Amino acid sequence: MHCKLLKSLILLYSFTCVANLYAQTGDILTSISNEMEHFSEIATVTKQNEIYQPYIISVFQGKELEKLGILNLKEALGLVPGIDMSTDNFNTKTPIFRGSNPLASGQSKLFIDDVLVNNVFFDAYSEYLSFPIEMIKRIEVVRGPGSKTDGINAYAGSINVITYAEDFDGFTANDKVVFKSGSHDYKMAGFTKTHKTDDLKLFIDFFYQEDNKKLPAGPDGFSQGSMSAFGYDNTGLSRSGDAPVWLEDYSLGLNLKYKDFSIKARVLDHTEGNAYGINLALPEDNGRVKLPSYYLQLGYNKQVNHYKFDVTAGVKYDTFDSKDKLGPDGLQFINMVQFDTDGTQLPVTFNDGIYGEHLARQRTLYQSSYLKYDGIDRHLITTGYRFVKEETIEMVSKLSNWSTGDAALVDYTDIYPFFDENASRNTFTFSLQDEFQFSNELSFIYGFNYERGSYEDAGIEPRVSMVYQLDTENIFKTIYSRSHRNPSWQEMFTMNNHSRVGSVDLEPEVVDAYEFAYVKKFSSDAYLQTNLFYLRNKNQIYNSSTDPVFKNVVDTDIYGLELEYKGHLSSADQLYLNYSYVTGTSNLDGGGSESLPNVAHHLAKAYYIYNLNSALSLSGVGKYVGSKERASGDERNKVKAYATLDTSVNYNSLAHNYRITFSIKNLFDTKLKYPSPPNTYSQDYEQERRTFLMSITKEF
């Protein structure tokens, strides 16, 4: 079935490209001319002319995603070429770009209205992946590290979510309210509101959502030896059941602009079930982890003759706050905090299980200043710096009594911390870039970041890209870029944990990326993009259940192909198709080479919207994810390939400005799993099956 689906997608892809090439050549020059004139002032900001940009970019419009019945940011990212999804025992969902280190977070960066929101603890943004699609105007995804030279390093790619706070002359910003309901007792309500005067614009968005989702899981990690060290065998305590992955979160965002000054702020309070357990023991239903994210950014933007000043300063707070039952009734282990008179560690039995509360709160202060100068003919020079100070401002570690085994919590913050409470890091980055329009057909961007930090320096990282427009129909791009990912707080500062141990001796992960793209433009809204890439990854960070210390032990060489088509079959529809192929080798220190583990070599995605009339549309979303090989030494069968199909019907009342969408996700109830690391959950992490969703949006 999977092979037939893949062949059908490729055949349809080829047919569509040929059909558009011959059916629409008559109006190519006229449509492109009109498009370029319309977007001449705002295209650089909005990325509406993405095929001309000096990087590999995909753009998705919120209104179109709503028609498809897309629930949130996570589902939207599932449409992007080369992106697969992974998870871990915390249920930290992570988009994997082009097979780059599937077991690590932080490979990509997420921006909400140009504000970086990756948390400090994991260097992830899983708490933002549930962001409702109705709050999003546009999603811009850049694959590869070449998208940032302004003090922020995007190792494998970057995602910029633009809310309806964006505003340009001639573009309306509609106020609206949204209500949604669906499977797993899902409920959501939200609104957006804009207030404008001559000099002032105020935008507010708010949403609340919750569900009661549980996913089949087990046997848990105790069956593989978790918490069975030091001669104690707790494998008999392993359980199977339902992993609590329920969700409850709310968010209030504010964007204010007064003349040349701006304020961007957001409060996101995200709480979810503890999924698969901190110690890989299936947790109780009422266990939870809170991942709140708060930020406030002040900005000043001023144009004076040929100079444009952009100054920002901000503060961001992230928290990891977990409360759960960490081990089952009858757990036997050694006393981790007290010793016998002869120095030996005493045994302890937790008859009622072991409980824990762990909190680590981080604060990030940052300031950047950039200057753009366009006084030299055909050049736009950008230079400036970004300074970031990250620090832990609070840490709490409470556990059941290690001496007596009593379930009541004892404060071990000082004598048995789970995290370094004095963790801090400063990072300074200097950037220089020149955009050089050599001719009407040929343009270059070249520049570099230079970074120094409290630990290992990243040094100079260059980027060079070229865009050549043979004519209005044929565009070529070549890109070379180097970037890095600094270790996360978890990888550096975790302690007294049997599944992960931090190390401050870690070096940044480094990638050199070589990319070539060809874009065939058929009309103003139809194109085919072909992209070849080669990635050399060094010092990738890895740990395992048998060696929980995080180390720089993996190098990978990755290369592949991405095909992306956007267009239509008739004047009444929209069609989007993409196919990705990725392969390569992974080189583990002392372990030789192997094919890329936990990576799907083949990915195919498609959606189709047919507008029956001005009010009613039908749509479908199809996705194929190929099989995945296991890591060396993992004797389990490879992760099976799967294919899913979603379908939606959308009714849009133009007279009364409301929309109703009904969707069925995973129509054929396909079983799909994300791979788990060796010696954890042996049956991997099963995801949800068929679900239903209803949404109602009213605009004002």
Cα–Cα dist 438/463, whole Å? 17
- Beta strand segments in 45-114, E: 56-61, 83-86, 94-97, 108-112
The highest-confidence range among 78-82, 332-336, 493-497, by mean pLDDT, is: 78-82
3-state secondary structure of 117: coil
pLDDT value at residue 169: 58
Cα–Cα dist 679/463, whole Å? 40
What is the average pLDDT across 221-229?
90
Q: What domains appear along the chain, each with residue ranges and CATH number?
A: 2-363+375-699 (2.40.170.20)
pLDDT value at residue 4: 42
List pLDDT tens digits, range 92-131.
Answer: 999 999 998 877 778 899 999 999 999 999 999 999 999 9
List pLDDT tens digits, range 608-635.
Answer: 999 999 999 999 999 999 999 998 889 9
Cα–Cα dist 156/203, whole Å? 32
pLDDT over 60 (residue 24) = no
Q: Transcribe 450-468 into DSSP letters.
A: EEEESSS--EEEEEEEEEE
pLDDT value at residue 3: 46
List pLDDT tens digits, range 542-591.
Answer: 888 778 899 998 899 999 999 999 999 999 999 999 999 999 998 877 66
Name the CA dihedral angle for 493, 499, 505, 509, rounded to a multiple of 10 degrees: -100
pLDDT value at residue 25: 40
pLDDT over 80 (residue 208) = yes
Q: How many other CB atoms are found less than 10 A from the CB of residue 459?
A: 14
Q: Transcribe 576-619 into DSSP letters.
A: EEEEEEEEEEEEETTTEEEEPTT-BSEEEEEEEEEESSSSEEEE
Q: How many Cα atoms occupy the beta-carbon half-sphere of 226 within 13 Å? A: 32
| Beta-bridge mates of residue 592 | 588
pLDDT value at residue 172: 60
Instruction: Supply φ then ψ for residue 668, to 5 degrees.
Output: -95, 15
pLDDT value at residue 151: 74
List pLDDT tens digits, range 242-300.
Answer: 999 999 999 999 999 999 999 999 999 999 999 999 889 999 888 999 999 999 999 99
More confident residue, 30 or 657: 657
Cα–Cα dist 124/105, whole Å? 5
What is the average pLDDT across 446-467?
92
Q: Is 328 in contact with 353 (CB distance < 8 Å)?
A: yes
Q: Is 183 exposed, middle or buried (0-12, 13-18, 19+ CB in 10 A)?
A: middle
Distance of CA 490 to the CA centre of its chain: 18
List pLDDT tens digits, range 347-371.
Answer: 899 999 999 999 999 999 999 999 9
Cα–Cα dist 663/126, whole Å? 24
Cα–Cα dist 559/189, whole Å? 43
pLDDT over 50 (residue 2) = no
Cα–Cα dist 598/586, whole Å? 11
Average pLDDT, the chain: 89
Q: Is 519 exposed, middle or buried (0-12, 13-18, 19+ CB in 10 A)?
A: buried
